[in-house]
Structure 1
Amino acid sequence: METLAAINRWLAKQHVVTWCVSCDGELWCANAFYYYDPARVAFYVMSDEKTRHSQMTGERTQVAGTVNGQPKTVALIRGVQFKGEIRRLEGEESDAIRKHYLRRFPVAVALSAPLWEIRPDELKFTDNTLGFGKKLCWLRAEQA
Protein backbone atom coordinates (compact mmCIF):
# COMPACT_ATOMS: atom_id res chain seq x y z
CA MET A 1 0.00 0.00 0.00
CA GLU A 2 2.94 2.35 0.57
CA THR A 3 3.77 2.10 -3.15
CA LEU A 4 0.30 3.29 -4.13
CA ALA A 5 0.41 6.04 -1.49
CA ALA A 6 3.68 7.36 -2.96
CA ILE A 7 2.26 7.26 -6.48
CA ASN A 8 -0.97 8.98 -5.35
CA ARG A 9 0.95 11.79 -3.60
CA TRP A 10 2.95 12.52 -6.74
CA LEU A 11 -0.06 12.33 -9.09
CA ALA A 12 -1.96 14.80 -6.88
CA LYS A 13 0.75 17.40 -7.61
CA GLN A 14 0.56 17.01 -11.40
CA HIS A 15 -2.20 18.08 -13.79
CA VAL A 16 -1.63 16.78 -17.35
CA VAL A 17 -2.02 13.18 -18.50
CA THR A 18 -1.08 11.76 -21.91
CA TRP A 19 -2.99 8.70 -23.07
CA CYS A 20 -2.97 6.59 -26.20
CA VAL A 21 -5.69 4.48 -27.78
CA SER A 22 -5.78 2.05 -30.66
CA CYS A 23 -8.57 1.26 -33.12
CA ASP A 24 -8.45 -0.82 -36.30
CA GLY A 25 -4.65 -0.93 -36.21
CA GLU A 26 -4.24 2.85 -35.76
CA LEU A 27 -2.76 4.57 -32.72
CA TRP A 28 -3.47 8.08 -31.41
CA CYS A 29 -2.40 10.01 -28.33
CA ALA A 30 -3.96 12.95 -26.50
CA ASN A 31 -3.17 15.23 -23.58
CA ALA A 32 -5.58 16.75 -21.08
CA PHE A 33 -5.86 18.22 -17.62
CA TYR A 34 -6.97 15.54 -15.18
CA TYR A 35 -8.69 15.09 -11.88
CA TYR A 36 -7.23 12.05 -10.11
CA ASP A 37 -9.22 10.04 -7.58
CA PRO A 38 -6.80 8.12 -5.35
CA ALA A 39 -9.59 6.00 -3.82
CA ARG A 40 -10.62 4.69 -7.26
CA VAL A 41 -7.11 4.89 -8.71
CA ALA A 42 -8.53 6.63 -11.76
CA PHE A 43 -7.92 9.72 -13.89
CA TYR A 44 -10.84 11.80 -15.15
CA VAL A 45 -10.45 13.92 -18.27
CA MET A 46 -12.74 16.13 -20.30
CA SER A 47 -12.60 15.62 -24.05
CA ASP A 48 -15.03 16.43 -26.84
CA GLU A 49 -16.64 13.39 -28.46
CA LYS A 50 -15.65 14.69 -31.92
CA THR A 51 -11.91 14.42 -31.26
CA ARG A 52 -9.96 11.70 -33.00
CA HIS A 53 -9.05 9.93 -29.76
CA SER A 54 -12.67 10.01 -28.51
CA GLN A 55 -13.93 8.62 -31.82
CA MET A 56 -11.35 5.83 -31.56
CA THR A 57 -12.32 5.08 -27.95
CA GLY A 58 -16.01 4.40 -28.38
CA GLU A 59 -17.74 2.99 -25.28
CA ARG A 60 -14.55 1.66 -23.70
CA THR A 61 -11.15 0.53 -24.90
CA GLN A 62 -7.65 -0.35 -23.80
CA VAL A 63 -5.46 2.63 -23.00
CA ALA A 64 -1.84 3.35 -22.09
CA GLY A 65 -0.27 6.61 -21.06
CA THR A 66 2.01 8.73 -18.93
CA VAL A 67 2.15 11.58 -16.47
CA ASN A 68 5.51 13.27 -16.19
CA GLY A 69 7.24 16.40 -15.02
CA GLN A 70 9.78 18.34 -17.06
CA PRO A 71 12.98 18.43 -14.97
CA LYS A 72 16.24 19.58 -16.53
CA THR A 73 18.30 17.23 -14.36
CA VAL A 74 18.28 13.44 -14.81
CA ALA A 75 18.46 12.94 -11.04
CA LEU A 76 15.08 14.68 -10.67
CA ILE A 77 13.15 12.67 -13.29
CA ARG A 78 9.82 11.38 -12.01
CA GLY A 79 6.94 9.97 -14.00
CA VAL A 80 4.15 7.44 -14.15
CA GLN A 81 3.42 5.00 -16.95
CA PHE A 82 0.13 3.12 -16.98
CA LYS A 83 -2.10 0.76 -18.89
CA GLY A 84 -5.76 0.03 -18.37
CA GLU A 85 -9.15 0.98 -19.80
CA ILE A 86 -10.85 4.23 -20.78
CA ARG A 87 -14.61 4.73 -20.85
CA ARG A 88 -17.03 7.59 -21.23
CA LEU A 89 -19.00 8.55 -18.13
CA GLU A 90 -22.75 9.05 -18.30
CA GLY A 91 -25.59 10.37 -16.12
CA GLU A 92 -25.19 10.73 -12.36
CA GLU A 93 -21.71 9.24 -12.42
CA SER A 94 -20.61 11.94 -14.86
CA ASP A 95 -22.35 14.68 -12.86
CA ALA A 96 -20.60 13.66 -9.64
CA ILE A 97 -17.13 13.57 -11.21
CA ARG A 98 -17.75 16.85 -13.10
CA LYS A 99 -18.09 18.63 -9.73
CA HIS A 100 -14.63 17.45 -8.69
CA TYR A 101 -13.16 18.26 -12.11
CA LEU A 102 -14.59 21.80 -12.12
CA ARG A 103 -13.34 22.40 -8.58
CA ARG A 104 -9.82 21.63 -9.82
CA PHE A 105 -10.19 23.40 -13.20
CA PRO A 106 -12.86 26.14 -12.87
CA VAL A 107 -12.19 27.42 -16.40
CA ALA A 108 -13.74 24.19 -17.73
CA VAL A 109 -17.21 25.33 -16.58
CA ALA A 110 -17.62 26.89 -20.02
CA LEU A 111 -17.15 23.50 -21.71
CA SER A 112 -19.85 20.91 -22.27
CA ALA A 113 -17.49 18.10 -23.31
CA PRO A 114 -18.06 14.64 -21.86
CA LEU A 115 -15.94 13.22 -19.06
CA TRP A 116 -13.92 10.05 -19.47
CA GLU A 117 -12.53 7.70 -16.84
CA ILE A 118 -9.07 6.26 -17.35
CA ARG A 119 -8.86 3.31 -14.97
CA PRO A 120 -5.31 1.96 -14.80
CA ASP A 121 -4.78 -1.70 -14.04
CA GLU A 122 -1.04 -1.13 -13.78
CA LEU A 123 1.02 1.86 -12.65
CA LYS A 124 4.81 2.16 -12.84
CA PHE A 125 6.34 5.17 -11.09
CA THR A 126 9.93 6.02 -11.97
CA ASP A 127 11.43 8.24 -9.27
CA ASN A 128 15.09 9.11 -9.73
CA THR A 129 14.98 11.22 -6.55
CA LEU A 130 15.02 7.86 -4.69
CA GLY A 131 18.02 6.64 -6.71
CA PHE A 132 18.72 6.43 -10.43
CA GLY A 133 16.13 4.24 -12.18
CA LYS A 134 14.09 3.54 -9.02
CA LYS A 135 10.72 2.03 -9.97
CA LEU A 136 7.61 1.58 -7.84
CA CYS A 137 5.03 -0.76 -9.42
CA TRP A 138 1.35 -1.25 -8.58
CA LEU A 139 -1.17 -3.72 -10.03
CA ARG A 140 -4.93 -3.39 -9.49
CA ALA A 141 -5.19 -7.17 -9.11
CA GLU A 142 -3.06 -6.90 -5.94
CA GLN A 143 -5.83 -4.82 -4.37
CA ALA A 144 -8.62 -7.35 -5.08
Structure 2
Amino acid sequence: MKGNNPALGLFILRVVVGVVFLMHGLGKLIGPPFPGPGMAGWSGMLRDVLHFPVPGLMAWVGMLIEAGGGLALILGFATAPLGWLLALYMVIAAVTGGHFAAGFDVFHFGDPMRRGYEYNLTLIAASLCIAFGGPGSWALGGSNGQSEASRMM
Protein backbone atom coordinates (compact mmCIF):
# COMPACT_ATOMS: atom_id res chain seq x y z
CA MET A 1 0.00 0.00 0.00
CA LYS A 2 1.43 3.36 -1.03
CA GLY A 3 -0.33 5.43 1.63
CA ASN A 4 -1.92 7.75 -0.89
CA ASN A 5 -5.62 7.41 -0.14
CA PRO A 6 -6.79 10.71 1.37
CA ALA A 7 -10.48 9.74 1.07
CA LEU A 8 -9.92 6.71 3.32
CA GLY A 9 -7.79 8.75 5.73
CA LEU A 10 -10.43 11.48 6.03
CA PHE A 11 -13.15 8.86 6.47
CA ILE A 12 -11.32 7.11 9.32
CA LEU A 13 -10.42 10.40 11.05
CA ARG A 14 -13.93 11.81 10.68
CA VAL A 15 -15.71 8.68 11.94
CA VAL A 16 -13.38 8.09 14.91
CA VAL A 17 -13.48 11.74 16.04
CA GLY A 18 -17.24 11.74 15.50
CA VAL A 19 -17.66 8.63 17.68
CA VAL A 20 -15.54 10.21 20.45
CA PHE A 21 -17.67 13.37 20.50
CA LEU A 22 -20.95 11.43 20.17
CA MET A 23 -20.08 9.13 23.10
CA HIS A 24 -19.17 12.08 25.31
CA GLY A 25 -22.34 13.92 24.33
CA LEU A 26 -24.48 10.87 25.11
CA GLY A 27 -22.68 10.55 28.45
CA LYS A 28 -23.70 14.10 29.26
CA LEU A 29 -27.29 13.45 28.19
CA ILE A 30 -27.91 9.91 29.47
CA GLY A 31 -24.97 8.89 31.65
CA PRO A 32 -24.06 5.20 32.00
CA PRO A 33 -23.54 3.10 29.97
CA PHE A 34 -22.04 6.08 28.14
CA PRO A 35 -19.01 7.89 29.65
CA GLY A 36 -20.56 10.73 31.62
CA PRO A 37 -22.73 11.79 34.54
CA GLY A 38 -26.03 12.35 32.72
CA MET A 39 -27.67 15.75 32.35
CA ALA A 40 -28.26 16.35 36.08
CA GLY A 41 -24.66 15.50 36.95
CA TRP A 42 -23.26 17.51 34.04
CA SER A 43 -25.36 20.56 34.90
CA GLY A 44 -24.36 20.22 38.57
CA MET A 45 -20.68 20.09 37.63
CA LEU A 46 -21.02 23.22 35.50
CA ARG A 47 -22.75 24.96 38.43
CA ASP A 48 -20.79 23.71 41.46
CA VAL A 49 -17.30 23.02 40.11
CA LEU A 50 -16.86 25.27 37.08
CA HIS A 51 -19.24 28.06 38.22
CA PHE A 52 -20.79 28.56 34.78
CA PRO A 53 -23.64 31.05 34.44
CA VAL A 54 -26.98 29.40 33.53
CA PRO A 55 -25.57 25.88 34.00
CA GLY A 56 -28.75 24.14 32.84
CA LEU A 57 -28.68 25.91 29.48
CA MET A 58 -24.91 25.50 29.14
CA ALA A 59 -25.23 21.77 29.87
CA TRP A 60 -27.68 21.37 26.99
CA VAL A 61 -25.53 23.49 24.66
CA GLY A 62 -22.42 21.43 25.43
CA MET A 63 -24.26 18.14 25.04
CA LEU A 64 -25.79 19.20 21.71
CA ILE A 65 -22.42 20.36 20.38
CA GLU A 66 -20.81 17.05 21.30
CA ALA A 67 -23.61 14.61 20.40
CA GLY A 68 -24.96 16.49 17.38
CA GLY A 69 -21.53 17.44 16.12
CA GLY A 70 -20.27 13.89 16.57
CA LEU A 71 -23.19 12.37 14.68
CA ALA A 72 -22.84 14.92 11.86
CA LEU A 73 -19.10 14.16 11.58
CA ILE A 74 -19.79 10.42 11.38
CA LEU A 75 -22.19 11.09 8.50
CA GLY A 76 -19.88 13.66 6.89
CA PHE A 77 -22.32 16.54 7.08
CA ALA A 78 -21.20 20.19 7.51
CA THR A 79 -17.66 19.13 8.40
CA ALA A 80 -15.95 22.51 7.93
CA PRO A 81 -18.14 24.56 10.27
CA LEU A 82 -18.42 21.67 12.73
CA GLY A 83 -14.66 21.14 12.72
CA TRP A 84 -14.19 24.78 13.70
CA LEU A 85 -16.99 24.64 16.29
CA LEU A 86 -15.67 21.46 17.92
CA ALA A 87 -12.12 22.85 18.00
CA LEU A 88 -13.37 26.04 19.68
CA TYR A 89 -15.47 23.98 22.10
CA MET A 90 -12.38 21.97 23.11
CA VAL A 91 -10.34 25.18 23.62
CA ILE A 92 -13.09 26.48 25.91
CA ALA A 93 -13.17 23.12 27.74
CA ALA A 94 -9.39 23.18 28.20
CA VAL A 95 -9.41 26.72 29.60
CA THR A 96 -12.53 26.58 31.78
CA GLY A 97 -12.05 22.97 32.89
CA GLY A 98 -8.59 23.63 34.32
CA HIS A 99 -6.77 21.45 31.78
CA PHE A 100 -4.26 24.15 30.77
CA ALA A 101 -3.54 24.90 34.41
CA ALA A 102 -2.88 21.18 35.04
CA GLY A 103 -0.11 21.05 32.42
CA PHE A 104 0.29 18.84 29.38
CA ASP A 105 -0.13 15.29 30.72
CA VAL A 106 -3.67 13.96 30.71
CA PHE A 107 -2.87 11.66 33.65
CA HIS A 108 -1.03 12.76 36.77
CA PHE A 109 0.05 10.00 39.13
CA GLY A 110 -1.31 10.59 42.62
CA ASP A 111 -4.10 12.95 41.55
CA PRO A 112 -6.63 11.27 39.25
CA MET A 113 -8.78 14.43 39.07
CA ARG A 114 -5.98 16.54 37.60
CA ARG A 115 -6.16 16.24 33.82
CA GLY A 116 -3.82 18.07 31.48
CA TYR A 117 -4.62 19.40 28.03
CA GLU A 118 -3.08 16.73 25.77
CA TYR A 119 -6.49 15.10 25.10
CA ASN A 120 -8.03 18.51 24.31
CA LEU A 121 -5.09 19.35 22.04
CA THR A 122 -5.49 16.07 20.16
CA LEU A 123 -9.21 16.71 19.55
CA ILE A 124 -8.51 20.33 18.57
CA ALA A 125 -5.95 19.21 15.98
CA ALA A 126 -8.18 16.42 14.66
CA SER A 127 -11.18 18.77 14.42
CA LEU A 128 -9.12 21.33 12.50
CA CYS A 129 -7.84 18.62 10.14
CA ILE A 130 -11.46 17.73 9.42
CA ALA A 131 -12.38 21.41 8.95
CA PHE A 132 -9.55 21.96 6.46
CA GLY A 133 -9.64 18.52 4.84
CA GLY A 134 -13.37 18.36 4.33
CA PRO A 135 -15.54 15.28 4.59
CA GLY A 136 -13.81 13.24 1.90
CA SER A 137 -15.70 11.41 -0.81
CA TRP A 138 -17.32 8.87 1.56
CA ALA A 139 -19.72 11.29 3.21
CA LEU A 140 -23.12 12.93 2.87
CA GLY A 141 -21.24 16.13 2.10
CA GLY A 142 -18.75 14.35 -0.19
CA SER A 143 -16.34 16.78 -1.79
CA ASN A 144 -14.88 14.83 -4.73
CA GLY A 145 -11.39 15.86 -3.70
CA GLN A 146 -12.06 19.51 -2.90
CA SER A 147 -12.00 20.43 0.76
CA GLU A 148 -15.03 22.09 2.30
CA ALA A 149 -12.78 24.78 3.76
CA SER A 150 -11.46 25.76 0.33
CA ARG A 151 -15.01 25.91 -1.06
CA MET A 152 -16.03 28.22 1.80
CA MET A 153 -13.23 30.72 1.10
TM-score, normalising length: structure 1: 0.25
> Would you tell me which structure has more helix in proportion to its own residues?
2
* Greater C-alpha Rg: 2
> Would you tell me which structure has more strand in proportion to its own residues?
1
TM-score, normalising length: structure 2: 0.24
